[in-house]
Amino acid sequence: MQQNLFIILEPHLFDPQVGMWGIHPDQSRNRLIFSGNGEKGVGLPLSDWGYEFSVDIPEAIREAIRKARGEGPNSLEDEEYRKRLQDKFGTRWVTTQLVKAQEKDNSDDTQAATCSDDPVPTIERETSGTRRRKRKRKGHVQVIRLRATAGGDGQGVERAVAVDVPKYKYVTKEQFEEPWHFASWVPMDPDGPTVLMNADSPTLLEAIKYHQGQYPDVFAEEVQDIVERTYGEVAICKIAHSQKLSKHVTEQELDEIYRSDVALTMSLMGLLAEESLIAQRLSKLGRKKTAA
């Protein structure tokens, strides 16, 4: 679109009977400026003119933009957001896990365990012997160990493990007990632990409608995508962070009470965190229709 679309601005020719003003290039001939009626070297309001054009954009250009955007990546197929969140919060979203003990482990911390072949990345404090000189590094490293269960002939030890970031996907309201529920945690989903997001949720639809009203209609689909992605990412962050509660409640209580549809819906109804993220991501679309 940027290579094929040109906007031609054609100013009126100078006419002293109309007014002593006009548009002309500056000395470097790199930009146009306005002079006249006591004003000199004033920048042209190109952003204002561009906004007016976007509000009343020709249908042929609007259709070309839709085709250029395509369908966009599906949230389940695009794993980039999960990797980004894991890299950003991985050392803070941690829980303890029984893993196979190694020779370097303190024998006082080990317990009888049965080790499996399932590898798990643990977060362990870096020893002085492995720290490189003249290079700042974090005090923790990731070590791959084998998962273990209590009891058996082997030796296990508890270590910190980063909580995996689940997936999310949008579905219709028919998959929820109540049509107004916003999210549902499905740890045994065939595609892996997933948060189902209600595309028909009143909370979501209200947020989409509000933000679409702030921008020209040509950005309606992009605004909807940004709002949906933001709420989806916030929801899976809450699931990941809630794993810390496993130290205080059973896994069953965690899923049935603290991760219930009602609890997730209530947690996503706050405007402060979600709105700040949405506003930050919408800023790339440019000027709003009206001042906030």
pLDDT in tens, 220-246: 888 999 999 999 989 988 888 888 787
- pLDDT for the residue numbered 211: 92
For residues 230 and 276, what is the distance between their CA atoms, to the nearest angstrom?
A: 10
* Residue of 95 and 8 predicted with greater confidence: 8
- List, in sequence order, every residue forming a beta bridge with 196; answer none if it has no partner: 169, 184
Q: Please give the single-letter amino acid code of residue 128.
A: S
Of 284, 257, 244, the C-alpha closest to 89 is 244
pLDDT in tens, 55-94: 777 888 877 766 765 544 444 445 676 677 666 665 656 6
Q: Is the pTM of this model over 0.75?
A: no
Hey, what are 122's tokens?
A: 């643990």
Domain ranges within the chain, ordered by starting residue: 81-87+165-285, 94-162
Q: Would you state the pLDDT for residue 292?
A: 43
Strand partners, 34: 23, 42
Task: Give the H or E element holding residue 112.
Answer: strand 111-125
Quick one: pLDDT at residue 196?
A: 94
What is the average per-residue pLDDT within 186-206? 89
The length of the chain, given as a count of residues? 292
CA distance 70 to 227: 18
Max CA pair span of the chain: 101
